Amino acid sequence: MDQILATLRAIAEPTRLRLIALCAEGEFTVSELVQVLGQSQPSVSRHLKQLSDSGVLQRLPEGSWVFYRLARDGAAGRLAREIVDALPADDRARAQDRDRLAAVRRTRADAAQGYFRANAGRWDEIRSLQADDRQIEARLLGMLPPESVRSLLDVGTGTGRILELYGARGVEGVGIDLSHDMLSVARANLARAGLSNVYVRQGDMYRLPWSEPSFDAVTFHQVLHFADEPAAAIAEARRVLRPGGRMMIVDFAPHDVEILRREHAHRRLGFSDDEVRGWLSQAGLRPHKTIHISGSALTVAIWSATGPD
């Protein structure tokens, strides 16, 4: 009862109620929330601190920025979400906040699109060498059915495509990436898809920000070829995988397309089945049959493994 009363006291203020309604729709910085609310930054920061301290909001540092979103775990977050769901859809203040929020999202999307346009040629060049993305995604969905996953971690999320793929099918998930630019692209993509059940945060694949097993599935989608220590990244991901959880790795089979190393910063020109299966076994996982999907010059492999119950 004390926890419920504390949560209600934290929420029972007009600005804080508006804040939780906004943060239920995504993750936003202080400056973005200031823009929506039209209040001073110190005032908004004070309200955000109270909501974070009470467990209603989740605080996600990202370099010099901090993002806030409605907490998905814990009694305070669940109660706050029920209150947001009970708010009248035709409330004038909420409608105005949503209009301003749309403007914030347009600004984000424009910035993300600028970065994407500047780098799209790099990704298009790689795509032209491999099988169609839709074919790869279909095989991934078949091997890791969304209905078997409650919570997903996408390591090195990039544009957030895996989160979008599974989030659209009701899976709750989080993606981590070190690149602020790529996180901006991912946020814009997830907002455009209208997904609030998945989000991204800045993080290091070798030091994941979870202290205990937290996910039913972990995915590495076209990221390990950039890694200095792929085996260490797999072992760290295994640490946050729940008993019986699944790990999926999508990457290239061995190839000799040197331009990927020279111009796209690939540290490894693909991986052999034995190599990846060995890393999975060393991490305490049970590897399954590998799937290979051939393209014009590159073969994509999907390695999968299951943790012990």
Q: What is the pLDDT of residues 243-254, one digit of tens each?
A: 999 999 999 999
**Higher local confidence (pLDDT), 96 or 130:** 96
Q: Residue 112 pLDDT > 80, yes or no?
A: no
23 is a domain residue: yes
55 and 165 part of one domain: no
| b/e burial code for range 23-38 (CB count within 10 A of at least 16 → b) | bbbbbbbbebbbbbbe
291-294 vs 299-306, strand pairing mode: antiparallel
Q: Domain containing 131: what range?
A: 123-306
Q: Could you give the CA distance from residue 117 to residue 267 in angstroms, rounded to a whole number?
A: 24
**Higher local confidence (pLDDT), 33 or 112:** 33
189 and 265 part of one domain: yes
144 and 285 part of one domain: yes
183 and 270 part of one domain: yes
110 is a domain residue: no
Q: Could you give the CA distance from residue 74 to residue 76 in angstroms, rounded to a whole number?
A: 6
Q: Residue 182 pLDDT > 60, yes or no?
A: yes
CATH number of the domain to which 43 belongs: 1.10.10.10
pLDDT at 74: 84
pLDDT at 114: 66
Rounded to an integer, the average pLDDT of 185-210 is 91
108 is a domain residue: no
CATH number of the domain to which 203 belongs: 3.40.50.150
297 and 152 part of one domain: yes
297 is a domain residue: yes
Rounded to an integer, the average pLDDT of 147-176 is 96
62 and 174 part of one domain: no
48 and 148 part of one domain: no
pLDDT at 119: 63
107 is a domain residue: no
Rounded to an integer, the average pLDDT of 297-309 is 93
- CA distances to 144, 156, 192 from 227, rounded to whole Å, are 24, 10, 30
234 is a domain residue: yes
198 and 245 part of one domain: yes
- pLDDT tens-digit profile of 17-62? 999 999 988 888 899 999 999 999 999 999 999 999 999 998 888 6
pLDDT at 27: 82
pLDDT at 299: 93
Q: How many CB atoms lie within 10 A of CB 73?
A: 12
pLDDT at 297: 86
133 is a domain residue: yes
Q: Could you give the CA distance from residue 43 to residue 41 in angstroms, rounded to a whole number?
A: 5
Domain count, the chain: 2
pLDDT at 4: 78
pLDDT at 62: 64
69 and 149 part of one domain: no
- pLDDT tens-digit profile of 200-233? 999 999 999 999 999 999 999 999 988 888 999 9
* Sequence letter at residue 40: S
105 is a domain residue: no
132 and 51 part of one domain: no
Q: Residue 125 pLDDT > 80, yes or no?
A: no
Q: Give 199's pLDDT tier (boundaries 50, 70, 90).
A: very high
Rounded to an integer, the average pLDDT of 133-140 is 93
Rounded to an integer, the average pLDDT of 296-303 is 92
220 and 78 part of one domain: no
Cβ-contact 251, 278 below 8 angstroms: no
pLDDT at 115: 52
The whole-model pTM stands at 0.75
299 and 162 part of one domain: yes
